[in-house]
A and B are shown apart, each in its own frame.
Chain A
Amino acid sequence: MPAPYKTDDDSVVVVIGSGAGGGTVGSELALNGVDTVILEAGKRYSIEDFVNDEWESFGQLAWLDERSTSGNWRVHKDFAGLPAWIVKSVGGSTIHWAGASLRFQDHEWKAKTTYGDVAGANLLDWPIDGKEMEPWYTKAEDRMGTTRTHGIEGLPGNNNFKVMKAGADKLGYKECSTGRMSINSAPRDGRGSCQQIGFCFQGCKSGAKWSTLYAEIPKGEKTGKLEVRPECHVTRIEHDDKGKVTGVVYFDKDGKEQRQKARAVCVAGNSIESPRLLLNSASGMFKDGLANSSGQVGRNYMRHTTGSVYGIFEKPVHMFRGTTMAGIIQDEAHNNPKRGFVGGYEFETLSIGLPFMAAFLDPGGWGRDFSAAMDGYSNMAGMWIVGEDMPQANNRITLNADKKDKYGMPTPNVHFDDHPNDNAMRNHAYRQGAALYEAVGATRTFPTPPYPSTHNLGTNRMSADAKDGVVNQHGQTHDIKNLFVSDGSQFTTGAAENPTLTIVALALRQAAYIRDQMAKGEI
């Protein structure tokens, strides 16, 4: 049957969410001949709709549904109602992402084995490894047009990168480049090359940056096997008395309740909404929520150990010109416990405009200490810290029984406490980052605290043993074989790398598995 599909068509695979996970798995299923419906809570924009204006774009794209926070993480203090800075629109956070496309290091698939017992951490090895993922990474990089793979040239370095590179050289770092980015350095796959616009976070106006919105979904739709329904917010997944999922309940753009039947369901709403949906789908048969026999749904929430270092120099930098994430240093990404922590971290250049700098440089800061820093904006360089954080059982998404959204469903709370390993890593990175900028003459540096989370991971984690996690090595839930998790919430551990490439690689692999299982009549 070609798209569009009827709501009572129970032969379709329903995908919830259209970002890196959902947009990819949905499009790939269609390309493999599987009838697919993607339900996306946000609107569908086109490239022309994106705006080079930080606050206006934030209002247009950000997921602003009510959420609460708790825990000792700084985000709870600074941005209590905004735990995550992610996107609500077709394309999800691939609209907002900066484009860094890094493979996990081999040891990161085996965090428990490599790091051993870390007090307070709920570490676990992934049931897959780098060898298993190698062909899927290769396929993902080809799909995304990742620079420095498949013979694709690296991007040119902008001013912010040049400052980073000069400092890296002074500190003796050897692994500094403009990185592997899914941003076209030359026209490819029907999309143009990077114009160094500088508003990567606000949606790429040239289309050079890969996004499911325009690089994947249209290919899926062209097959006639994919229907994308924007402004459709899924509130529950339903099942039959045998424990198989049968469809989903959602509210359409007119606020009308609908029910879409399904042969299988893929959940890809990012690591806050995905576990929330499973928990909100609790039933008489599954009292603790769907696929939650392990009790791990919502737990082990990870957000990467982050922070930023900004430096002010005597002369202008104009860091905002050009790609937001224009360079990377990977020397600190390796596991070297002699530094006082396990795991590693990346330095990646990051630039934000004046309006967001005011909000994020030192949240809550004021007075001359703060305004003098803002006065130095044009002479500022900046970089972001992305490191592996420890999964902890009590860092978790729970439901606020007393706070309901407009559909009457409990809203999510995001609890996060920094682990001592996270703090040790962040402090190390702050010191190294400041030293790097001082080596090129910074007159002042800033250890900027974490922004609301952009890398949300781990709340439906993958495990070999059903008692340790929510999904198996294919992202298939241990408890319900026609229910899948397709986003970053299936991450067993977070690794030090930006997660999108791994989410896409897992989604491509999962789509092949679903097609295979359907062919075998298993689902």
Chain B
Amino acid sequence: MRLIDRTPKVDRRSFLASTGAAALVVTSTSVLCPTESWGVEAQNLKPETVRTLIRMSRDIYPHDRLADRFYAVAVKGMDGKATEGAPLKATLEDGVAKLDEAAKAAHGVPYADVGWEHQRVALLRAIEGDPFFQTVRGDLVVSLYNQKELWPIFGYQGESASQGGYIKRGFNDIDWL
């Protein structure tokens, strides 16, 4: 999948997803984030599915310091692997459809529009043993946390050999003990 690096134009047929850290816009082909100036073009999954997976990803690993684009990058990877005929595509589409059904039954709106995180988490707890949930979580635990761009936000410095290791860069600099 590719991240579209531009501020998208929101047309009248688009609808604003009303919850989330940043409002996401779903078009016929993409999920767009006007405030963060990015968009994800859905290649294999329905754009609504991509949007829901982004919401679900944040609910699985909620980091308030992380913008939606990090979750979008992770979901974009899943979308890229969910090619026509791949079992993953059915797992994700069917899983999201069922999650939406459960959300509508409980709250009258699709999953992505359920207002409170704890309400959405309760919906996820009910399915956490299912292949759909485990597939998303299992992918996400790598595809989210292995993004080098987010490591500095967590204070992780990554590769060090080319910089001479930490022998002169604070390997023993702790000062509060």
Contact = CB atoms under 8 A, between A and B. Distances in A.
A354 B167 contact: no
A163 B176 CA distance: 10
Interface string B149-177: 00100111111111011110111111011
Contacts of A370: 61
9 A-B pairs closest in CB distance: A378-B155, A195-B165, A322-B171, A358-B145, A197-B165, A205-B161, A354-B156, A52-B159, A321-B166
B53 to A, nearest CB: 14
Given A318-B155, A354-B156, A374 B145 contact: yes
Contacts of A354: 145, 151, 154, 156
Contact of A374 (B63, B164, B177): B63
A355 B145 contact: yes
B156 A378 contact: yes
Interface in B31-66: 59-63, 65
24 contacts: A156-B172, A158-B172, A159-B174, A163-B174, A166-B177, A194-B167, A195-B161, A195-B165, A196-B165, A197-B161, A197-B166, A198-B160, A206-B161, A316-B155, A318-B155, A321-B166, A321-B171, A354-B154, A355-B146, A358-B142, A359-B145, A371-B63, A378-B155, A378-B156
Interface string B120-155: 010000001000000001000110111000010011
A162 B172 contact: yes
Contact of A366 (B60, B159, B171): B60
A366 B161 contact: no
Interface residues of B, number: 36
Nearest to A367: B121
A414 B154 CA distance: 36
Interface of B, secondary structure class, is loop
A407 interface: no
Given A318-B155, A440-B177, A359 B142 contact: yes
B172 A159 contact: yes
B155 A197 contact: no
A287 interface: no
Contacts of A198: 160, 165-166, 171
Max chain B C-beta neighbours (<10 A), residue from A321, A322, A378: A321
A39 to B, nearest CB: 31
Given A54-B146, A196-B165, 6 more contacts: A158-B166, A198-B171, A206-B165, A321-B170, A370-B61, A377-B156
B117 to A, nearest CB: 8
A199 interface: yes
Nearest to A165: B177
Interface residues of A, number: 46
B172 A52 contact: no
A376 B45 CA distance: 34
Contact of A196 (B142, B155, B162, B167): B167
Interface string A198-226: 11000001100000000000000000000
A254 to B, nearest CB: 31
Nearest to B157: A320
B62 A159 contact: no
Contact of B166 (A166, A322, A355, A377): A322
Given A354-B154, A368-B62, A374-B63, A162 B174 contact: yes
B154 A157 contact: no
B65 to A, nearest CB: 7
A158 B166 CA distance: 9
B161 A199 contact: yes
Contacts of B137: 364, 366
A377 B63 CA distance: 12
Nearest to B121: A367
B85 to A, nearest CB: 24
A320 B155 CA distance: 10
Given A354-B154, A377-B154, A52 B62 contact: no
Interface string A37-64: 0000000000000011111000000000
Greatest chain B CB density within 10 A among A163, A194, A364, A366 is at A366
Nearest to B60: A366
A315 interface: yes
B121 A157 contact: no
Contacts of A322: 165-167, 171-172
Contacts of A196: 165-167, 171
Interface centre among A314, A374, A375 (most CB of B within 10 A): A375
Nearest to B162: A52
B134 to A, nearest CB: 8
B65 A358 contact: no
A130 interface: no
A98 B121 CA distance: 39
Given A197-B161, A354-B154, A55 B62 contact: no
A37 B170 CA distance: 45
Contact of A158 (B144, B171, B176): B171
Interface in A309-351: 314-318, 320-322
Interface string B62-93: 11010000000000000000000000000000
Contacts of B169: 321
Contacts of B167: 194-196, 322
A295 interface: no
A54 B156 CA distance: 12
Q: Which of B60, B62, B166, B170 has the most CB of A within 10 A?
A: B166
Contacts of B154: 354, 374-375, 377-378
A353 interface: yes
A366 B121 CA distance: 10
A69 to B, nearest CB: 17
